């Protein structure tokens, strides 16, 4: 699963990427020449996973991960090239969600390209660009479909269905509404699945604040939260510069630094968890002395689908799943104690796996 980091130039996208990856990817001033894409696989912070690792002391640990992609910002590309930026869109179209970074920090060495700080205007500007890109894609597809509908060999019923869906999408986009706001059914999505529309993706707003704003929220934060609430976006405030500095510290020094700053946990942890949730993902666990592993599945997945995630043979020969909710496991203190207390359940193929389930599959091939 990939999350694309997007936003206006000089908003702190690559600084945030470095905070997430504990890396040192090169940033670029507005108008600079950086064009490469940075990609990082990031562990999903999960205190449940940490507890299980501490309990079992396994030989191997495998946390849940998601991938973040940092490319050139859309506005930057347009202002350089006079268009939407083909490289930028080619990158983010392949992602499943977008993290839209806007700035609220003052920095005279990196001035805002527009000479003002207005996170709501910046966020709206990027979303408008995404809407425009989707409108162009929808119009191109409609033109092709209408030609197909006139052809003798076209699957007319399917083509007319696609035309109807794209017409609804085009109307929404022309009225500055995103594809997510159209309310597409699963059948609608299936009809247009081969077209990667940017505003159908989940969007997470990230307000990049100055260090002095960490303890005292700014009016800009309240304004962006109101904008986010209006459009159904989650909104996270953090200082990417501080987060990147924290990420370079050894674990013990990081804890001391956070305590001195009065911060309960790094903002990057909250951000990663929000992205994981908005991607529609949950984790279940398999445990033992050999390995403790967090498996990533879609919300609403069944027990047999979870078994197939572990190995296809487990799904093929699935008999039952032994399931202990994590909170029950922690309360009891061990797998055997959980069984003795009656916390272990036997579930069939259609059981809907819950976030945090500890899982063991009975199977026979």
Q: For 153-203, what is each residue's pLDDT tens digit?
A: 667 788 888 999 999 999 999 999 999 999 889 898 888 888 889 999 999
Cβ-Cβ contacts under 8 Å for 263 (sequence gap 6 or more)? 214
> Within the chain, which residue ranges are assigned CATH 3.40.50.300?
2-148+163-278
Q: Using CA atoms, how far apart are residues 187 and 53, in angstroms rounded to an integer?
A: 42
pTM for the model stands at 0.86
Tell whether domain 300-363 is in CATH 3.10.20.30. yes
pLDDT digits (tens, 9 = 90+) for 25-77: 666 554 444 556 788 999 999 999 999 999 999 999 999 999 999 865 444 44
Closest CA to 29 of 90, 108, 96: 108
Q: Give the span between the Cα atoms of 178 and 135, in whole angstroms.
A: 10
pLDDT at 82 over 50: no
How far is 141 from 261, CA to CA, in rounded Å? 52
Work out the average pLDDT over 346-362: 97
Q: What is the pLDDT of residue 280?
A: 94
| DSSP summary character for residue 216 | S
Domain with CATH 3.10.20.30 in the chain: 300-363
Query: In 3D, which of 282, 281, 285 has the Cα closest to residue 338?
Result: 285
CA distance 313 to 248: 42
Tell me the average pLDDT of the chain. 88
CATH topology of domain 2-148+163-278: Rossmann fold (3.40.50)
Q: Positive or negative, the Cα torsion across 78, 82, 87, 92?
A: positive
- Confidence (pLDDT) at 91: 75
What SS3 state is found at 283? strand
| pLDDT higher than threshold 60 for residue 134 | yes
Distance (Å, whole) CA 62 – CA 188 = 37
What is the predicted pLDDT for the residue at 196?
87
């Amino acid at each position: 699963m990939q999350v694309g980091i997007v936003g206006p130039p000089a908003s702190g996208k690559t600084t945030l990427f470095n905070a997430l990856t504990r890396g040192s990817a090169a940033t670029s001033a507005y108008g600079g020449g950086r064009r490469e894409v940075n990609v990082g696989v990031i562990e999903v912070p999960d205190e449940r996973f940490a507890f299980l690792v501490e309990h079992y002391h396994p030989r191997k640990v495998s946390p849940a991960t998601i991938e973040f992609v940092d490319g050139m910002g859309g506005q930057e590309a347009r202002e350089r090239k006079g268009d939407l930026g083909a490289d930028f869109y080619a990158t983010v179209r392949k992602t499943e969600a977008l993290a839209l970074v806007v700035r609220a920090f003052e920095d005279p060495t990196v001035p805002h390209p527009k000479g003002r700080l207005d996170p709501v205007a910046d966020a709206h500007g990027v979303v408008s660009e995404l809407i425009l890109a989707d409108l162009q894609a929808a119009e191109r597809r409609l033109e092709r479909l209408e030609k197909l509908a006139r052809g003798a060999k076209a699957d007319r019923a399917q083509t007319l269905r696609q035309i109807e869906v794209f017409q609804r999408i085009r109307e929404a986009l022309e009225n500055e509404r995103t594809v997510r706001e159209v309310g597409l059914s699963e059948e609608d999505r299936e009809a247009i699945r081969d077209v990667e529309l940017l505003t159908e993706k989940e969007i997470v707003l990230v307000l990049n604040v100055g260090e002095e704003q960490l303890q005292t929220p700014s009016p800009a934060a309240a304004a962006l939260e109101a904008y986010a609430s209006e459009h159904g976006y989650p909104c996270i405030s953090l200082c990417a510069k501080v987060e990147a500095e924290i990420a370079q510290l050894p674990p013990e020094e990081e804890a001391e630094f956070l305590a001195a700053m009065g911060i309960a946990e790094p903002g990057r942890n909250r951000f990663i968890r929000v992205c994981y949730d908005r991607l529609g993902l949950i984790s279940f666990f398999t445990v033992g002395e050999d390995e403790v592993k967090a498996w990533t599945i879609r919300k609403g997945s069944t027990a047999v689908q979870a078994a197939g995630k572990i190995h296809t043979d487990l799904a093929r020969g699935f008999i039952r799943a032994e399931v202990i909710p994590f909170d029950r496991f922690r309360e009891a203190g061990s797998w055997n104690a959980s069984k003795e207390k009656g916390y272990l359940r036997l579930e069939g193929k259609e059981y809907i796996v819950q976030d945090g389930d500890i899982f063991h599959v009975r199977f026979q091939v």
